[in-house]
Amino acid sequence: MRDSLRYAVKEVWRRKKRTAGAILSYFFVGAIVVVVSSLAGVTRDTAQSVLWNVGAHSVAYSPRLTIYGCCIQTFATDKYDPDREGFVVNNAPTNIISEEEIELIRQSPYVLDASPYLMFRIRSFLGSGEWLIGGIDLTGHDVYPYTVVAKSQVVEGEFIEHGEDNRIMVEDDFAGTYGLEVGSELQIGDFAYEIAAIVNPPLRPGKANIYMSLEGLRELIETRLDEIAELPINAVLIESLGARYHDQAHADIASILGSSSRITSYGCYQPSMMAMGINDRTAWIITGIVILCMLLVAMKIQYSSVIQRRFDIGVLKAIGWRDENVVIQVMTEASIYGITGGIAGVAGAFILIHLLPGDLFGDGGRSVDNYVVFAGLLLPVAGGLLAGILSAFRAARLQTADILRKA
């Protein structure tokens, strides 16, 4: 046994090119497994965190059939246009939601946070049409950036802050339509607002044309309606526990706001999750094919090395080597190739991962999971041993007499 090991080491050392070829192939197998898994893991994590947030944030409201309504007195003033103005979300007239209801929603186990939002439709003061205004509670809630507009979506100017009730932000398209610029003024009803920012949020459940503070919008609404519920709110911005709890959160909210209530989020998160899965699978299939090819190359090198040595093996068997000697030697060589290649590959992958720019890796950083390291080692070793077994059997089956006759 020890002798066979010695002969294997000698053989590995003597045939440097072959050894380099086999080890290099296993090196690539190990390295590809680790690098691709950690990059794929990171992209998957990032993608999922995006989707997670997408699914986790939504807007709840309680639609009603008509703008004229129960809870608010809708006496038309001379300024107010009852057919066009009112509390509207997603083009639907809405009921008023109370602070207590928001508090109850907050207490649902599937809801992380809930914050008030006010959406009011008002007639246009520049030509015909209507404008949709969003009143944001700017007092430090984490939900509006995901459901309404985020600081990162400012195209020009500054995001408004709490207390700036006479400053507004307008959507890019809206600004374009009416030729509005940062710093210019916009008259809405009785008030003149300074445009603090032009923003461009993507499709969002709480999307409006104009954004201002909750307090500022309430002040404006007071001048439009004769009688109004104190501190009106008609939407709740919700952060649920995660995309998966969307349905449970909805059920809880429905039991609080009534069965006709709606909860909106991006409808695309489910199909995009599926698409992401397909992409993921494609990447893995390609990786798998590459790995398989490298494995085959390495195994071919090992196998043909045995065929090349058939003369040596025949002579050694003739002078008294046992089959087991040959098998152990070939298997030892195979293990050396697989283990060395695997370890070098994993080590190389770690180095590569640390050389790659850090922003390729998400919050998890450059850490590599243990099971990935394990797979990076296992595959080359398993490949080496499999090739070893195949070629060892081939070597053992070689007929000494045949070999000697052809020598």
Residues in contact with other proteins by CB under 8 A are 2-4, 6-7, 10, 14, 311-312, 315-325, 399-401, 404-405, 407
- Give 167's DSSP letter: E
Among 173, 402, 404, 407, binds ligand ADP (CB under 6 A): 402
Nearer to ligand ADP, 279 or 400 (CB): 400
Q: Where are the alpha helices (DSSP H) in 205-263?
A: 214-224, 246-257
Among 16, 17, 405, 406, binds ligand ADP (CB under 6 A): 405
Nearer to other proteins, 144 or 321 (CB): 321
Nearest-approach distance from CB 399 to other proteins, in angstroms: 8
Site string for ligand ADP, 347-386 (x = CB under 6 A): ----------------------------------------
Nearest-approach distance from CB 304 to ligand ADP, in angstroms: 23
Q: What is the CB neighbour count within 10 angstroms for residue 48?
A: 16
Q: Where are the alpha helices (DSSP H) in 69-153?
A: 99-107, 144-147
Nearest-approach distance from CB 320 to other proteins, in angstroms: 3
Angle in degrees, CA 135, 138, 142, rounded to 5: 110
Rounded to whole angstroms, how far apart are CA atoms 384 and 128?
A: 76
In this structure, what is the dihedral angle of CA atoms 207, 213, 216, 220, given to the nearest 10 degrees? 0
Q: Which does 390 bind (CB under 5 to 8 A by kind): other proteins, ligand ADP, none?
A: none
- 8 A C-beta contact, residue 148 and residue 208: yes
Nearer to other proteins, 241 or 315 (CB): 315
Nearest-approach distance from CB 24 to other proteins, in angstroms: 22
Q: Which does 319 bind (CB under 5 to 8 A by kind): other proteins, ligand ADP, none?
A: other proteins
Nearer to ligand ADP, 71 or 403 (CB): 403
What 3-state class would DSSP assign to 119?
Answer: strand
Nearer to ligand ADP, 77 or 399 (CB): 399
Nearest-approach distance from CB 44 to ligand ADP, in angstroms: 59
Nearer to ligand ADP, 397 or 405 (CB): 405
User: According to CB under 6 A, which residues from 117 to 156 bind ligand ADP?
Assistant: none
- 8 A C-beta contact, residue 275 and residue 48: no
Of 110, 71, 101, 103, which Cα lies nearest the Cα of 87? 71
Nearer to other proteins, 115 or 329 (CB): 329
The H or E element that residue 310 is part of is: helix 310-318
Paired strand residues for 199: 154, 171
In this structure, what is the dihedral angle of CA atoms 385, 390, 391, 393, given to the nearest 10 degrees? 120
Rounded to whole angstroms, how far apart are CA atoms 228 and 222?
A: 7
Nearer to other proteins, 261 or 329 (CB): 329
What 3-state class would DSSP assign to 113?
Answer: strand
- Give 140's DSSP letter: S
Nearest-approach distance from CB 407 to other proteins, in angstroms: 6
Nearest-approach distance from CB 401 to ligand ADP, in angstroms: 6
User: Which stretches of the chain bind ligand ADP, using CB under 6 A?
Assistant: 402, 405
